[in-house]
Amino acid sequence: MRIFLLIFCLVFAFNLKAQDVHFSQFSVSSMGLNPAIVGNQSADFKASFHKRTQWQSVAAPFSTIAANFEVKDILKKTSVGLQFVNDVAGDADFTTSEFNAAINKSFSIARDKEIAAGILLGFTQRKVDFSNLIFEENENLQNPSFSYFDVGIGANYSMIVSDNFSFITGLSAYHINRPKQTLLHDENLQLEEKYNSYFQSFYRINNTIIFNPALLYSRQGKSSELLFGTAIRHEIAPLNMELISQIFYRWDDAIIPAFGLNYNSIRVVVSYDINTSDLVAASNNKGGFEFVIIYIWNKKKRMQKGEIKKYCPRYL
């Protein structure tokens, strides 16, 4: 198995056409889903930390962390966000470090309908450590790292249908500038564009139960991903708490249960990918562990006399 991994890492280093870093809890990182939904939280500010570890049962684990900070309506109908992502894969410690910034503008097209458009600008560095790899022949590897600038765009549509039902849907495209992806000076391999399309809904069953069905389809080059399922939130008003349970399925790959809670302004969710793909023989159904913590807060505002506090559905 270790020999297989070394071969994989070598091929990966020479021909980088793999998928982007991605999470099973895809709605947490707005910038990874669509720059048009940055700042789409119910509060003025949102900070989140996301950690994923996978393939620990097969070989050296792949570890990913992401930190996000988003500001809603920093200017009228304009929101911004910042993101740092670090991903380390395999025995060769193939490392991807990303710094991203996003801005979007939303427009009301009716009382309960809104569209938004956003852009993401990023800088990424990738590097590999060849010292842990074994080569049968000497290789001329002068370039163990490279960096590039990145551009992404997106659009989103949201609608509040009634007091009990609302939804968002959108499209996004990443790497539209096709940055160069190679460790060899004489190669001209480019990073494939990535496209996301998604639908997320909010349905209140009664005073305590809320359903959040969601679907995501992503495509990057020849690779694609279909992820769908639902979250169920149970509000416990006396404790100012909300219990969360989720079940999602990544087509032909994994079943993903998750559990968590909202307490005041803090949300914590833990999920685990139960592998169902052709790699079951090697993984023994073990896949990826994810941990998410989110904190949202508001600016201090004085309520005007007679002002009514409106309820806002929380999509993300």
Residue ranges of the domains in the chain? 2-127+142-297
Residue 279 has pLDDT above 70, yes or no: no
Q: Which of 136-145, 279-288, 290-299 has the highest mean pLDDT?
A: 290-299
Cβ-in-10-Å burial (0-12, 13-18, 19+) of 138 comes to exposed
Residue 4 has pLDDT above 80, yes or no: no
How far apart CA 31 and CA 196 sit, in angstroms, is: 11
Q: What is the mean pLDDT of residues 153-162?
A: 97
Fold of 2-127+142-297: Porin (2.40.160)
Residue 18 has pLDDT above 80, yes or no: no
pLDDT at res. 14: 42
pLDDT at res. 29: 82
Q: For residue range 89-122, list pLDDT tens digits in order.
A: 877 788 999 999 999 999 999 889 999 999 999 9
Please choose, from the candidates 257, 247, 258, 250, the residue with its C-alpha nearest in 3D space to the C-alpha of residue 276.
250
To which residue do tokens 């169920």 refer?
Answer: 232
How far apart CA 137 and CA 214 sit, in angstroms, is: 50
Percent of the chain topping pLDDT 70 = 80
Measured between alpha carbons, how far is residue 203 from residues 99, 167, 207, 241 in Å?
A: 35, 9, 11, 18
pLDDT at res. 19: 58
pTM, full prediction: 0.85
